Structure 1
Amino acid sequence: MEKYTQYRDRGTGIAPFIPITTPTSTFSLPLAAVLYVLRAPVLAAISVSYFLFLQFMPLGALFQKGILWICMLVAGVWWVDLQVEGVKRGTLSRYPDRLPSSGSIIASTFSSPLDALYLAATFDPIFLVPSFDTPYVFQLTLLQLMFYTFAPPTSKPYSTKPTTIAEVVSKNPYRIIVIFPEGTTSNGRALLRFAPALDTFATHFKISGENGHGNGMIPKNLIFPISLRYLPSNTTTPLPNSYGEFLWRLLGQPSHTIKVRIGEAVRIRDLEKAETLASTSSSETITEKTVVRNPEDSTSRVPRTGALEERVSEILARVGRIRRVGLGVKEKIGFWNAWKSQGRKKK
């Protein structure tokens, strides 16, 4: 892997684009083959039925979520370890505001098709992926997003019409919206550099009234950072076109656990009141101050560039127990080109 040292983060040495491999024994291969043969036809039948027919039928959100949960159970995802920052186990019902609800935005890590499947089964959200070099985002369906996790990194997925987070929120003020600010998948060992869409949304957000409904945009004005990690950790898809390898690892292992960590919600109104925000990134430290147009009028204050990105990425790194790196979509494009030029097998 020395050939790809330029695609390691200089501060941490982490290589977020190299696929994770786990040791296998001779005895585990027959078991994996049996599990794969048993699970693959069932998962294929349920998936085809859902994406071609059932999702378009008026069966209700609860029924459709149930089908997605069945898909995960068939794939071996039998346990979800959910923790909410600042909430003790067994007391979550006392803090309903600590969970995303209608009108919230989720900023999620991005490493596997299971990210989209779990979030869809739990929240039934609208999915957005950002362009890595513009402030625009692209709205994808669940199926499009799952295929996007295997697609080569690009700034315009599926030729969909570019839009902005603010525009999507204004049209869907009571839907949960999920954005993957990294813009591309990693192997889950680090948090990639964010695309500009999330921070652009913060700097152009017009603060609503105290009740949160003043501008008809975000009723609760909350952004929830959510970290998703997997055990075993080899079910990530940092390499494009790795369909076969992913399905073998997913279906050939007895069980999988999703570790879900929901961080403290970020409110843009509170972000604007902060005087300084120190970054804990291993690659850089930013200590600029918030831009204030009129100190006497809170509605005229806007976050400085990078403020929301710093807050969300810091929370994601903390709750997910991963490091932040200075690599992003552009570096992954270079890595993928280098990987192909070396004739490496996707594994």
Structure 2
Amino acid sequence: MEKYSQFRDKGRHRNRTLPPRPFAPANVLWTPIHALLFALRLLPVLSLSLSYFLLLEILPIPTIIKKCVLWLLLAVPGVWWVDLQVDGVKRGRLSDKQAAGSLPKEGDIVASSFTSPLDPLYLAGIFCPVFVRTWPGEKGVQVITLWGAICMAFSQPQLESPKGVELVQLKELSKKYPDSIICVFPESTTTNGRGILPLSPALLTAGSKTKIYPVNLRYTPGDITTPVPGGAFNWVWKLLSKPTHQMRVRIARPIYNSPSIDTPSTTKSEKASGVDMGYETNIWDSPHLRNGVHVGEEKGDMGQQVLDRVGEDLARLGRVKRVGLGVREKTEFVKIWKSRRR
């Protein structure tokens, strides 16, 4: 893959936009089994999808019914939620009253990683949030539906919002939807799950007292991620033909968009042990350091510090690195990738 070396992150030598290796059965004898699984699952998934997006989503029915349909839509292709970890909460203690403040609730914001169309589907099944779309150079966001969030995983990355799109700030949305969680994909595009892209400044429009929860979702195996636009049919084949897909969810402690309200994302013991820095990371990889200088603190850029903290938490939860390549570089990569594929 040396022909795509210009899209590798400097110092990391890894490409965060390459699609995952295509899934192939270990033995040719398994091919009929995968074809049978695809055929058996296709009709139920289509029926559930049409029923929900054309009828149930717009009807004033109880939220629990919508969530049950979404969970069934995940269960039919064999997507299993195998692990959930929340910062500051021990395993098996999520039902305790003390853990109530560690999970997002009405009025909060979820800043989620974005690797697959399953991400918004899972988040809708858990939180039933209001989804918004972001752009790397815009502070405003666009309210979209769950179907719009799923389609965004297959769409071309955009540097700017299209003309005529109504943009609002997160603070205004929190007032408009006080009884709902707002879900933001701050990377503005999908990745292959191997890095966290620079975040959109839209997060900086949240209220100073609004909690921002970084959430990271990972899949095993990772062949159902969609870092390159298009390929919807191939993705459906991978989703329905494999027996199971494992999903792991990590939720960090809340962050506030205010220097006066500081809730540390990690404990002192975690920082001392190096957990806060992420997986296989040293101090010189920190986004706060450039040539050994704390740029955020010297410049007093509190907004950038908030984005850095959210990015650090997303990277730590996913055990990946933060990278400097953004939507612009991905757009250029997609053009070269598709031209050479043809």
Q: TM-score, normalised by structure 2?
A: 0.86
Kindly provide the CA deviation profile for residues 287-344 of structure 1, in whole angstroms up to 9, marking residues without a partner as x: 232888xxxxxxxxxx623011111111111111111111111111111111122135
Kindly provide the CA deviation profile for residues 51-92 of structure 1, in whole angstroms up to 9, marking residues without a partner as x: 111222222100001100000001111333111112111112
Q: Which letter does structure 1 place at the counterpart of 2:91?
A: R
Alignment of 1:267-346 (within 5 A): 267-269=256-258, 282=285, 284-286=287-289, 287=294, 288-289=296-297, 304-344=302-342
1:284 CA displacement: 4.4
- 1:116–1:157 CA distance, 2 compared to 1 (3 A): farther
1:180 CA displacement: 0.5
Q: Which letter does structure 1 place at the counterpart of 2:58?
A: F
Q: Percent identity?
A: 39
Alignment of 1:30-45 (within 5 A): 30-45=32-47
Contact 2:288 2:308 in 1 (8 A): no
Contact 2:9 2:325 in 1 (8 A): yes
Tell me the equivalent position of 2:70: 68
- 1:266–1:305 CA distance, 2 compared to 1 (3 A): closer
In the alignment, the residues of structure 2 paired with residue 281 and residue 227 of structure 1 have an alpha-carbon distance, to the nearest angstrom, of 23
SS of 1:178's equivalent? strand
Alignment of 1:1-347 (within 5 A): 1-21=1-21, 22-25=23-26, 26-94=28-96, 95-154=99-158, 155-156=160-161, 160-198=165-203, 200-201=204-205, 205=207, 207=208, 221-269=210-258, 282=285, 284-286=287-289, 287=294, 288-289=296-297, 304-344=302-342
- 1:55–1:88 CA distance, 2 compared to 1 (3 A): same
Contact 1:80 1:258 in 2 (8 A): yes
SS of 2:219's equivalent? strand
Tell me the equivalent position of 1:298: none
SS of 1:16's equivalent? coil
Contact 1:106 1:179 in 2 (8 A): yes
In the alignment, the residues of structure 1 paired with residue 336 and residue 2 of structure 2 have an alpha-carbon distance, to the nearest angstrom, of 12
In the alignment, the residues of structure 2 paired with residue 309 and residue 136 of structure 1 have an alpha-carbon distance, to the nearest angstrom, of 15
Contact 2:9 2:324 in 1 (8 A): yes
- 1:73–1:159 CA distance, 2 compared to 1 (3 A): farther
Tell me how large the CA RMSD over aligned residues is: 2.3
SS of 2:335's equivalent? helix
Structure 1: tracts of 5 or more residues without a match: 213-220, 293-302
Structure 2: tracts of 5 or more residues without a match: 264-275, 278-282
- 1:87–1:284 CA distance, 2 compared to 1 (3 A): closer
- 1:157–1:251 CA distance, 2 compared to 1 (3 A): farther
In the alignment, the residues of structure 2 paired with residue 317 and residue 164 of structure 1 have an alpha-carbon distance, to the nearest angstrom, of 25
- 1:260–1:159 CA distance, 2 compared to 1 (3 A): farther
SS of 2:297's equivalent? coil
Tell me the equivalent position of 2:270: none
SS of 2:215's equivalent? strand
Contact 1:283 1:326 in 2 (8 A): no
Size of the aligned set, in residue pairs, is: 315
In the alignment, the residues of structure 1 paired with residue 311 and residue 143 of structure 2 have an alpha-carbon distance, to the nearest angstrom, of 22
